Amino acid sequence: MAYVGRTPANAALTASDLENGIVSADKLATNAVTEVKVNADAITNAKTEFTPGLTIKGDGSSADGKLILNCSQNSHGVSIAGPAHSAGQSYNLVLPTSVGSNGQVLATNGSTNNQLTWVDAVEAKPTVADVSQTISPATSQTFNITGTGFVSIPIVEFIKTDGSVTLANTVSFTNATTLSVNVTLATGNYYVRVENPDGNAGRSTNNILTASTAPSFSTAAGSLGTFAGNFSGTVATIAGSSDSAITFSEVGSNLATANVTLNSSTGALETTDFGGSSTTATLTNFTIRITDAENQTTDRAFSFTSSYGATGGGQFN
């Protein structure tokens, strides 16, 4: 360290050179001395005039106060420097109360007192929760991605099952577990990948995002016609369309009252004895639901009437 003041009689200050634990002014005069050495026993429990603590001042101009810990050859070292005057800040760094594990470093916990804490030297990779969602294709959509370890502001990629990659239009950081993203995707299934600014990245285990249009009916709602009682065969076939395979189901159980069953694959309404035991003309109302591979559904209401009296297996509208 640099000498300060006049060279003392000995090469090093000793305990006898201290007055009440403080080096007196005549021992550290201001005239032309470049270095002062202090014996270890002399500075043990030594005091400074800035009690409590030691203050290392700047030069009043451009140099900030700095504590330097050199190597044995004084060729390099580590320094702790005060903040620049332009920062306009004063703060304390408070050491942790426990020892960290291997591979950890000291960092602030973000509180106002700048308490240091032990954190992993390498930030953990983010994870993407396997929460399935379906959005409309070919239109700008905004939704949330959840997971852990998100850092503001990450890159979010949507990886289609064919390997093509689409970047999010925008990414908004909500917190470490939630991102709000906007993206425009073609029809298909996608994995979601999140990459933090430090390069650590994580991807969903499954293709959790589907861009798909809800299924629609080709068969108009309302009456499917009037059919003779005792008719056997296909009464009618409900048709639907989708960008993926669809299945048919009834909402409720009204078809059974007319002795009609629904083919879940083809949408055909089939009977072996239309109207069953009914001896009067009967109107049956029912609702059909179509479901696509992404579990999107659309419902539509239909009806048909059985006419009493015809027994020849005929059908009419």
pLDDT digits (tens, 9 = 90+) for 30-49: 443 445 555 544 444 444 44
Residue 131 burial by Cβ neighbours in a 10 Å radius (0-12, 13-18, 19+):
middle
Tens of pLDDT along 126-176? Answer: 999 999 999 999 999 999 999 999 999 999 999 999 999 999 999 999 999
**Confidence at residue 58, expressed as pLDDT on a 0 to 100 scale:** 84
Per the model's pLDDT, the better-predicted residue between 13 and 157 turns out to be 157
Closest CA to 67 of 55, 85, 51, 49: 55
Contacts of 88 (CB under 8 A, 6+ apart): none
Higher pLDDT, 308 or 214: 214
Instruction: In whole angstroms, give the CA distance from residue 289 to residue 301.
Output: 9
pLDDT on residue 283 = 93
pLDDT at 11: 46
- Of 11-20, 32-41, 91-100, 297-306, which has the strongest mean pLDDT? 297-306
Q: Where are the domains of the chain?
A: 12-87, 91-121, 127-211, 216-307
pLDDT value, residue 46: 45
Terminal CA-to-CA distance of the chain, rounded, Å? Answer: 107
Q: How far apart are CA 300 and CA 289, in angstroms?
A: 7
What's the CATH class of domain 127-211?
mainly beta
Report the distance separating Cα 180 and Cα 153, nearest Å: 11
| Common-topology check for domains 127-211 and 216-307 | yes
More confident residue, 243 or 76: 76
CA distance 31 to 33: 6
Question: What percent of the chain is predicted at pLDDT more than 90?
Answer: 49
Pairwise CA distance, residues 246 & 296, whole Å: 9
CATH superfamily of this structure's domain 216-307? Cadherins (2.60.40.60)
- Supply the pTM of this predicted model: 0.51
Q: pLDDT tens, 114-124?
A: 778 877 766 67
pLDDT digits over 77-110, tens only?
Answer: 888 888 888 888 887 778 887 887 776 777 775 5
Mean pLDDT in the chain?
A: 82
